[in-house]
Amino acid sequence: MPSGGLHELIDAHYEALYRYAYRLSGSAADAEDLTQETFGKALARLPQLREPDRARAWLFRILRNLYLHKVRDQKRHKVVPLDAVGDLAGRDATPEMPDIDPAKLQQALNELDEAFRTPIILFYFEEFSYRDIAEQMDLPIGTVMSRLARAKAYLRSRLAPGPDPDGGGPLPDTAPGPKKVTDGVP
Amino acid sequence: MECRDAQFYLRLRRHAADELGPDVTGTLDSHLATCAACAADARAALSFDRALTAAMRSVPVPSGLREKLFTQAAAKQGAVLRGKLYRAGGLVAAGLLVLGIGFGVFSNSRPKVDSQVLIDIASNQSEQAVSRFLVANKLPDHLPMPFDYDLLMHFDMGEYQGQKVPVIVFRSPNGDNGFAKVYIFKSDSRFDLRGLQDAQGSQARAQVLVGQGAYRGATYVFVHTGRDLQPFLRTRNGGGNPA
């Protein structure tokens, strides 16, 4: 792709990248920084992009690496046993799901470890295939599917109306303090 | 397919682009057609997916972000271009430096030209040429005076008073159009010295030297400008005396 293609890349992908960054970081300021840094890196590495059709996956990967670098520096990970996440949804799931408050969704996402958060964001938000997500995260496709299933169950337990799987009743308006949900994957 | 498997696959099923493959999807759909509980779960999962997708995408993008990104891209591209320019300039400068150093090494390692040696070589060659010319005319191979052959202008046969005689001409070192001519006659030749002097102009003087010893058989007539022949002789050897 010629170097003049950066402007086309920005136009085509900046909104999706910003939303992805926002859902990853949970902060508008961080999302803006991450988006800018992503295009900065992309400019420096533009000659490496041999398949323009893969530009979106390439940019998302750059952004995720930048994010991981940031959170690694900030040492924000807290490990909570994966048992906190329900593996399977209960039979009492509401057939018709009302609209989900985006802010509550973000709260729930913030509670997920990045290892779960990234696949679920990519799965819903940008509709990456399982294979794409596996490539993004350098994971076997089976691991991606397993994490997706667990993350989805967790979000459903947090966001769907009905009894709290932990016995806490419906999701309160003010969510409890964030607890990271992880299977110990760094 | 059992209900537990159906629950697992329902969670992974994506309705927009089902990636479970026809085998799993076909079996799952067959199960859902016969199991009311799983069918209800499937509807709930679909409903949840739709709600979650909508919420996930509901992120307002800052209005000025696009302009910021374009500004940043322009600045970075400028920096990249400047970087390339500086690198290219550095390479050119380095190349010139290497060339300069190489030229310096070459110049220093090259033998130095000693201009005096070149003059000496040219002078010796001139003296040897005159010597061969004299021998060819059956005369002593050297002039009886230590002339400075750096000042040699030419030598040839000149006609004078009906006879051809060797003439060797030197220029003045002062750049004043002065000269010294050496006419060489065989001892048995006859010539009119006054006529010779008149022919060279009133400023010229003439001296005659009858050869003796190694110069026997030749008479040398020196016609020159200036007071004497000293300016035309080798000074570093302290000059020489007529033989």
Q: Any idea what the CATH number is for the domain that residue A92 is in?
A: 1.10.10.10
CATH of the domain at A40: 1.10.1740.10
Contact indicator for B125, B132 with CB cutoff of 8 Å: no
3-state secondary structure A128-174: CCHHHHHHHHCCCHHHHHHHHHHHHHHHHHHHCCCCCCCCCCCCCCC
A70 and A138 part of one domain: no
A89 touches chain B (CB under 8 A): yes
Residue A153 placed within a domain: yes
| Closest by Cβ to A100, choosing from B37, B52, B65 | B52
B40: closest chain A residue by CA: A95
B200: exposed, middle or buried (Cβ count in 10 Å: 0-12, 13-18, 19+): middle
Window 84-123 of B, Cβ < 8 Å to A: none
d(Cα B130, Cα B126) in Å, to the nearest integer? 6
Query: Taking CB atoms and an 8 Å limit, are A28 and B53 in contact across chains?
Result: no
Residues A60 and A92 in one domain: no
Å from B43 to nearest chain A CA? 6
Q: Are residues A47 and A67 in the same domain?
A: yes
Interface test with A, best of B9, B14, B24, B56 (most A CBs within 10 A): B56
Q: Are residues A112 and A56 in the same domain?
A: no
Q: Number of C-alpha atoms within 13 angstroms, CB side, residue B214?
A: 9
B93–chain A nearest CA distance, Å: 26
Same domain, A89 and A155: yes
A16 and A43 together in one domain:
yes
> For testing the chain B interface, which of A43, A121, A171 should be mutated: the one with the most B CBs within 10 Å?
A43
CA-to-CA distance for B216 and B218, rounded, in angstroms?
6
Using the Cβ of B56 and the Cβ atoms of chain A, whether some distance falls under 8 Å is answered with: yes
Single out the residue of A175, A180, A150 nearest to residue A77, CA to CA.
Answer: A180
Domain identity same for A86 and A69: no
Residue A176 lies in a domain: no
Is A32 within a domain? yes
In whole angstroms, how far apart are CA B119 and each of B46, B110, B124, B151, B152?
107, 20, 8, 11, 12
Nearest to A66 by CA among A95, A39, A27: A39
Specify whether A66 is located in the same domain as A50.
Answer: yes
The Cα A52–Cα A41 span in angstroms is 16
Same domain, A113 and A56: no
Amino acid (one-letter) located at A21: A
Within chain A, residue ranges assigned H as helices are 6-25, 28-45, 55-74, 102-111, 114-121, 130-137, 141-159
CA distance A118 to A132: 12
Interface of B with A in 29-48 (CB under 8 A): 37, 40-41, 43-45, 47-48
Of A95, A99, A152, the CB nearest to B51: A99
* A41, A89: one domain: no
The domain total for chain A is 2
* Closest chain B residue to the Cα of A17, Cα to Cα: B61
ipTM above 0.85, yes or no: no
Residue of chain A nearest B6, judged by CA positions: A88
Q: Residue B138: left if φ>0, alpha if ψ -120 to 50, beta else—which one? A: left
Comparing CB atoms, the residue among A39, A97, A130 nearest residue B51 is A97
Residue A170 lies in a domain: no
Domain shared by A87 and A68, yes or no? no
Instruction: State residue A66's pLDDT score.
Output: 92
User: What number of other Cβ atoms are within 10 A of residue A21's Cβ?
Assistant: 28
**pTM for the predicted model, two decimal places:** 0.54
Of A43, A102, A156, nearest to B55 by CB-CB distance is A102
Whether residue A164 lies inside any domain: the answer is no
Cβ within 8 Å of residue A135, ≥6 positions away: A57
Residues lower than pLDDT 70 in chain B: 14-18, 77-82, 105-118, 194-202, 236-243
Q: How far is it, in rounded angstroms, from Cα B209 to Cα B187?
A: 11
Comparing CB atoms, the residue among B11, B69, B73 nearest residue A152 is: B11
Are A48 and A21 members of one domain?
yes
Q: Is B189 helix (H, G, I), strand (E, B) or coil?
A: coil
Residue A133 in any domain: the answer is: yes
B17 touches chain A (CB under 8 A): yes
Residues of A in contact with B74 (CB under 8 A): none
Q: What is the DSSP string of B139-173?
A: S-SS-SS-B-GGGEEEEEEEEETTEEEEEEEEE-T
Q: Is A141 on the interface with B (CB under 8 A)?
A: no
Residue of B69, B77, B80, B81 to mutate, testing the A interface (most A Cβ within 10 Å of its Cβ): B69
Mean pLDDT by 10 residues, chain A (186 residues): 68 90 90 91 80 84 90 59 51 67 88 87 81 88 86 84 46 39 47
Distance CA B241, CA B146 (A): 8
Identify the H or E element spanning B104: helix B65-109
Give the pair of three-digit tokens for residue B68: 């910021």
Residue A94, Cβ neighbours under 10 Å: how many?
Answer: 14
Do A55 and A26 touch, CB atoms closer than 8 A?
no
Residue A35 lies in a domain: yes
Residue A179 lies in a domain: no
CB atoms within 10 A of CB A145: 22
CA torsion A74-A75-A80-A86 (nearest 10°) is 50
Cβ count within 10 A of residue B228:
12
- Which of A31, A57, A74 terminates a domain? The answer is A74
Sign of CA dihedral B42, B44, B50, B56: negative
Instruction: Give the Cα separation of A92 and A94 in Å (integer).
Output: 6
Query: Where in the sequence is the domain holding A149, given as residue range(s)?
Result: 82-159
CA atoms within 13 A on the CB side of B57: 11
Nearest CB neighbour to B44, from listed A19, A88, A95 = A95
Which of A48, A74, A100 is the last residue before a domain boundary?
A: A74
Cβ separation B80–A43 shorter than 8 A: yes
Q: Which of B146, B141, B149, B168 is nearest to B230 (CA)?
A: B146
